[in-house]
A = this chain, B = another copy of it.
Amino acid sequence: MLAEILTIGDELCRGEVVDTNSSWLAQALWELEVTVAWMSSCRDDRPDMERALRDATGRADLVVVSGGLGPTQDDLTVDVVAAMLGVAPVIHEPSRKLMEERFAAAKFRLTPNNLRQVEVPEGAFVLANPVGLAPGFEVSMSGTPVVCMPGVPRELKAIFTSAVKDRVVALRESRGERVQRIARRIYRTFGAGESHIATRLEGVGADSAGTSIHYQAKFPEVLVKLVIRDRDQSAAMERLESLDSEIRERLTPDLYGTDDDSLPAALGRALMNVGATMATAESCTGGMIGALITEVAGSSAYYLGGAVTYSNEEKKRQLGVSEATLVEHGAVSEACVVEMARGARDRVGVDYAVAVSGVAGPQGGTAEKPVGTVWVAVVGPRGSATKRLQWPGDRQRIRRLTAHWALRMILGALRDDSVDRAQDDPRAGQKASQTAERPGGAGAGAENE
């Protein structure tokens, strides 16, 4: 089954908006085993839309349309489709009722314009919009099913997920295609390159038919998508679970989560698990590490704050870095980041602190420390770890990589410490804050208890 995605809108063809609906739909259809062969866009223009629809229905087995279902005279999808089918646009009563209720609740007055949003071509199969006003619909044009949805991404996704997905499966089955059910999981990694990650997974699932692994570099991460196809959903899921532990093992220590997880969220969970707190000490990232950590709602439970020490003066004043270290080793050095992290840990009074200092460029590089040289240190209750990074790339790339490495190194320290604790005493290991090395008087950690 070959599909075409057609997105409609002047703003697309003038390049004012990047078309993210097409890629979202393409991915969703790909996962339903429908091959998207063409994606096209055209303006809010009757003849162009007719032409685009004719070309699409002429070359694809399924056409998925987004856009042109709004309330204004620019929104022409219903009119054009109806005219091509030789039917009239009609008001879809259940959608009109819903609209009236919502308008009444919000005390808005309904104008005739608004009613355009609840029109569909006469005889169309209506697809309810769970999060908006304009319903989607499906018609058949020259024998090809055409599904139309609003261009608002949130509404498009809701309609596709709640109604179109099942319909696509039904359409495939009606064509006599052997429809397989899909189980999938995305493994999210940070720290190794795409080819390195792929090499580590070589052979996984090789003896299992219908199993495929896909790699996607999504800076600064590499995503691994495991897809299992089977006639039966639960069989597919079972086979996915049977591969899960091997994949996790092979992706250690770069794996931090699955599906919609994020590195800051994974770090937050790991800290909460052991009731630990943390602080940051940032130079070249200028605050980006703290900004990432606090993307997570509720991060105040484990993140207390930190210092942005862009100047050497501030490294001394806020974190107690010694003049001797700065003179002897410079600000971009192992000695400096260790002192920065120690200073942040002691002064903020937390279990873990991470510090970074580097040459983000484009100026400031030397032969010994070229642009892209970064030192990261993490100091915890059981010791410290440091890493020297050296990347090519522009200033923004270097800073983003540095910030992500900082998060990853705290995660690594938490993991190592939990192994250590488990070895010390099988009953211990619940709270890093119970170790002897914990800074005295750090009341904040206790707030989580």
* A→B interface (CB under 8 Å): 12-20, 22-30, 35-43, 45, 48, 51-52, 55, 59, 216, 280, 282, 284-291, 293-295, 297-300, 303-311, 313-314, 317-318, 347-349, 360-363, 395-396, 399, 443-444
- Supposing A51-B59, A291-B291 touch, asked if A18 and B15 sit within 8 A by C-beta, the answer is no
| Cα distance, A297 to B398, chains bound together (Å) | 12
Closest CB-CB distance, A224 to chain B, in whole Å? 13
Rounded to whole angstroms, the CA-CA distance of A293 and B119 in the bound complex is 49
User: With A15-B36, A19-B19, A303-B310 given, can you name 5 additional A-B contacts, CB distance below 8 Å?
Assistant: A39-B40, A287-B306, A294-B399, A304-B310, A313-B443
Residues from chain B with a CB closer than 8 A to the CB of A395 are: 295, 297
| Of the residues B22, B286, B313, contact of A287 by C-beta under 8 Å | B286
> Given A37-B13, A40-B41, A291-B291, do A308 and B305 touch, yes or no (CB 8 Å)?
yes
Q: Report the minimum CB–CB distance from A298 to chain B (whole Å).
A: 7
Contact sample, A vs B, 16 pairs, CB 8 Å cutoff: A16-B216, A18-B19, A18-B23, A19-B23, A55-B55, A285-B291, A286-B295, A286-B299, A288-B290, A291-B399, A295-B396, A297-B361, A299-B310, A304-B310, A304-B313, A318-B318
In the assembled complex, which residues on chain B have CB atoms less than 8 Å from the CB atom of A299? 286, 310
Contact between A15 and B23 (Cβ–Cβ < 8 Å)? yes
Q: Which residues of B contact A13 (CB under 8 A)?
A: 26, 35-39
Q: Which of B14, B290, B305, B347 contacts A36 (CB 8 A)?
A: B14
List, in ascending order, chain B residues with CB within 8 A of A18's CB.
Answer: 18-20, 23
Taking each of A15, A19, A51, which has the highest tally of chain B beta carbons within 10 Å of its own beta carbon?
Answer: A15
Q: Select from chain B the residue with minimum beta-carbon distance to A38.
A: B42
For the complex, what is the distance from the CA of A19 to the CA of B39, rounded to whole Å? 10
Task: Tell me the bound Cα distance from A135 to B59 in angstroms.
Answer: 31
Bound-complex Cα distance A444 to B312 (A): 10
CB distance from A348 to the nearest CB of B (A): 6
Closest 10 CB pairs of A and B: A287-B287, A286-B294, A287-B290, A15-B27, A15-B26, A305-B314, A288-B291, A40-B40, A39-B41, A15-B23
Q: How far is the CA of A281 from the CA of B368 in the complex (A)?
A: 34
- Most B CB contacts (10 A, CB to CB) among A37, A59, A395 go to A37
Instruction: Enumerate chain B residues within 8 angstroms of A347, measured Cβ to Cβ.
Output: 317
Select the residue from A42, A43, A310, A318 with max chain B CB neighbours within 10 A: A310
Q: Could you tell me the distance in whole angstroms from the C-beta of A52 to the nearest C-beta in chain B?
A: 7
Residue among B43, B290, B308 making CB contact with A37, cutoff 8 Å: B43
**Among A14, A280, A308, A311, which residue has the most Cβ atoms of chain B within 10 A?**
A308
Please measure, in the bound complex, the distance between the C-alpha atom of A23 and the C-alpha atom of B20, giving whole angstroms.
Answer: 11
Q: What residues of chain B lie closer than 8 Å to A35, measured between beta carbons?
A: 13, 43
**Contacts A313-B443, A317-B347; A14 near B42 (Cβ below 8 A):** no
CB distance from A218 to the nearest CB of B (A): 9
> Which residues of B are found within 8 Å of A311, using beta-carbon distances?
300, 304-305, 444
Inter-chain contacts of A348 with B (CB < 8 A): 314, 317
Most B C-beta atoms less than 10 A away, residue of A52, A300, A360: A300
Q: How far is the CA of A23 from the CA of B21 in the complex (A)?
A: 13
Q: Which residues of B contact A55 (CB under 8 A)?
A: 55, 59
Given A308-B280, A318-B307: A19 and B16 within 8 A (CB)?
no
Complex Cα gap A319–B28 (Å): 50
Of all chain B residues, which has the CB nearest A223? B16
Whether B304 and A314, one on each chain, are in contact in the complex, defined by CB atoms closer than 8 angstroms, is yes
Q: A305, B309: Cβ atoms under 8 Å?
A: yes
